[in-house]
Amino acid sequence: MSTSERRTARRRRRGAAAALLATGLLLAVAACGGSSGGDARSGATNGGKGKVTLSFWDWDPHMDTVVARWNAAHPGIQVKLSNPAGGDQLVAKMITAHEAKNGPDIAKVEYQSLPALVSKGVVRDITEYTKDTVTRFDRATLSSTVFQGKVYGVPQDVAPLMLFYRADLFRKYGLAVPTTWDRFAATARALRAKAPASYLTNFDAADPGWFTGLAQQAGANWWSADGDTWKVDIDGAPTRKVAAYWQDLVGSGAVAKNPSFSPQWNKQMNDGTLLAWICGAWAPAQLGGIAPATKGKWAVAPLPAWTAGDTTTGIWGGSATTVTSDSAHPAEAAQFASWLNTDDAAVTEQVRQINVYPAATAGRSLPILQAAPAFFPDEPDFYAEVKKVAPSARSFPMWGPDVTVTFTGYTDAFSKALQSGGSFTAALAGLQSAAVADLKKLGFTVG
């Protein structure tokens, strides 16, 4: 097939997917009945097909221990784990592998990336294999993986944004944990006055997922659709409010400007230069590698609110286990995806090894969640605090099929604005224009 023919084929697939995605994230309530013979969870064998080996792409640390549990209990369906990349890089590899018709059977996908993979035909509709599985999740969680009543993934975890802070340093400097964004700004400035070499936190221009979660908390909906017409509102009032708030903190020197996960940031987190981190509930799994000297010194609190008493927060991260359209064994792959995210032993092992906060409703009451994460030994109520926050966590009701372009644009535009002293709201306007242009380029109608 020529380049032009491939482009035409992709446009046709995208056009067909536009109608699917534009209807919104609709749950297949009627299909969420009890156990069915078609559900991949209903059997532990592979239907007499002989030994099946499934390839699984996942970037979670220590996922091999979870997969080993499956392999020991399912000799006829073996899973081979590999970690080719994480996040957006894995998505790019999935698309490339699909075009070469050699993709994995199963892959971990962040929720915001799923619509694009659906529109490109990379991931498979697994509705027929998950009729019982979908009953194990609440509507809000499942909505990120179900499009027009069709299931395209089994949710793994949810990651509400929370405030992680150095309890020892807050005590040292006499700081109260801020409950509103006004108090957060005042605390940031007070710290700079007391300890000029320290910062409350940093503004991250390199990770759009962080900023997206803050926009969600403020009420933003970056993508929506009416029929087959898309609307983009990245430059709307809620996101502008968030951008202006952080520009004020950056401009006044109240917060640091270096990106998270950089060597400099890691050092500052480890030596106490930075006292707080706005992060998803997965933070304990990462802090051991980022700031090993700080074990036992962190505490967790709800994200500051725009209005006192409002419990709304955003989401940074969260993923689903998907079955690709290249898999020759979709039933077995869906069986593994269901087991991974609903079996008590499998979910318990993920909490222990990866510090996920389970997506499955029953998983949030597992005994292991009564204990503190290993890096937070003095926080026995850690998961109880996450459980309180999770019901008020909001994502966008819909993610657009051009998230990758928008996220790349965020990193480019905000990094330039941060270094040059430029306008964050102007950067948003640029993201808005680029997202609209890209949707049109993909063949979608934009109103």
**Domain ranges for the chain:** 3-27+38-158+318-370, 162-315+397-446
Residue 96: which H helix or E strand, with range? helix 87-99
What does the radius of gyration of the chain's CA atoms come to, in whole angstroms?
22
Query: By the 8 A CB rule, do 144 and 270 touch?
Result: no
What does the pLDDT read at residue 148?
Answer: 76
Distance, C-alpha 350 to centroid of its chain: 16
pLDDT of res. 49: 65
**Per-residue tokens: 22:** 């534009």
Domain 3-27+38-158+318-370 class? Answer: alpha beta
Confidence (pLDDT) at 10: 35
The secondary structure of residue 175, as a DSSP letter, is P
Per-residue pLDDT tens digits for 246-275: 999 999 999 999 999 999 999 999 999 999
Looking up tokens 């990106």 gives 259
Query: Which stretch of DSSP H or E encloses residue 300?
Result: strand 298-302
pLDDT at 47: 55
pLDDT at residue 48 in the model: 58
Report DSSP letters for 112-123, one per residue: GGHHHHHHTT-B
Q: Is 47 helix (H, G, I), strand (E, B) or coil?
A: coil
What is the Cα–Cα distance from 280 to 265, expressed in whole angstroms?
Answer: 17
Helix orientation angle between 208-217 and 403-420, rounded to the nearest 10 degrees: 100
> Length of the chain, please?
447
Tokens of 281: 């509930």
Say if 3-27+38-158+318-370 and 162-315+397-446 have the same CATH topology. Answer: yes
Which residues, given as ranges, of the chain have pLDDT below 50? 1-45
- What pTM does this model have? 0.82
- Cβ burial of 249 (10 Å; 0-12, 13-18, 19+) is buried
**Nearest CA among 436, 366, 425 for reference residue 402:** 436
CATH code of 162-315+397-446, in short, is 3.40.190.10
pLDDT at 259: 94
Q: Are 128 and 8 spatial neighbours (Cβ–Cβ below 8 Å)?
A: no
H or E stretch at 57 = strand 52-57
Query: What pLDDT does residue 139 have?
Result: 86
Q: What is the pLDDT of residue 30?
A: 27
